[in-house]
Chain A
Amino acid sequence: MTLSEIKETIEVAVPDSTAYIMDPMQDGQHLEAVVVSSIFKGLPLVKQHQMVMKPLKDAFAQSVHALKLKTLTPEEWDVFKKENNLNL
């Protein structure tokens, strides 16, 4: 699965979300993702991650070995961007 397919899969499955997928090792296997959605507000971390991981079952069955995941609400995303001086 390509990074854009993974992005799309997540954004379709997680309501009102934006997903940023990265492949730091450039191997298509060890990926990183930041997923931003207001739906995460108040949800336990594992439930947030499960929402993202569940639709990725096929991706993991095919090429992806690991996905380092960060789930954030829009407010947390703003703070995260400032802290990491990202202009996304």
Chain B
Amino acid sequence: MSDIKQQIEKDIKENKVMIYMKGTPEFPQCGFSGQVVSIFKQYKIPFGAKNVLEDPDLRQGIKDFTDWPTIPQIFINGEFVGGCDIITEMHNKGELKKLMETIK
């Protein structure tokens, strides 16, 4: 388990915006993951993405890491921000825009 934890910690440190999703940004394999990717693409800021479908240990490890039972999961500046619902609500309220400006 610990190497997964270290891997996650490395991912979220190296990627200001990190998305754990089903599928890839080009080929999301779940509506919620696709929605999150399309939101972040609007900000034109590079983001890291990992396909949990390719790594069952990661798929479970990330859920344990954040105490959050679903995918996608989004980290900004190394902090867990939430899943599709929260990102969409923050985006609609302009809160995500403010947060993304702290990254530029």
Give the distance in Å from the alpha carbon of A54 to the alpha carbon of B70 in the complex.
11
Choose the segment among B9-17, B37-45, B80-88 that binds chain A (4+ C-beta atoms closer than 8 Å): B80-88
Best-surrounded residue of B66, B67, B69, B80 (most CB of chain A within 10 A) = B69
Near B by CB (< 8 A), chain A positions 1-50 give: 45-46, 49-50
Near A by CB (< 8 A), chain B positions 31-82 give: 32, 63, 66-70, 80-82
Indicate if the CB atoms of A45 and B86 lie closer than 8 Å.
Answer: yes
Tally inter-chain residue pairs, CB-CB below 8 A: 33
Given A46-B80, A46-B81, A67:B86 Cβ within 8 A: no
Give the distance in Å from the alpha carbon of A54 to the alpha carbon of B67 in the complex.
6
Indicate if the CB atoms of B80 and A49 lie closer than 8 Å.
Answer: no
Query: Is chain A's binding surface mostly helix, strand, loop or mixed?
Result: helix
Give the distance in Å from the alpha carbon of A46 to the alpha carbon of B80 in the complex.
8
A66 contacts the other chain (CB 8 A)? yes
A82 contacts the other chain (CB 8 A)? no
Against B, the Cβ 8 Å flags (1 = close, 0 = not) of A45-70 are 11001100110110011000011110
Given A53-B67, A60-B69, A60-B70, A68:B85 Cβ within 8 A: yes
* Shortest distance from the beta carbon of A63 to any chain B beta carbon, whole Å: 12
Given A60-B70, A66-B70, A45:B32 Cβ within 8 A: no
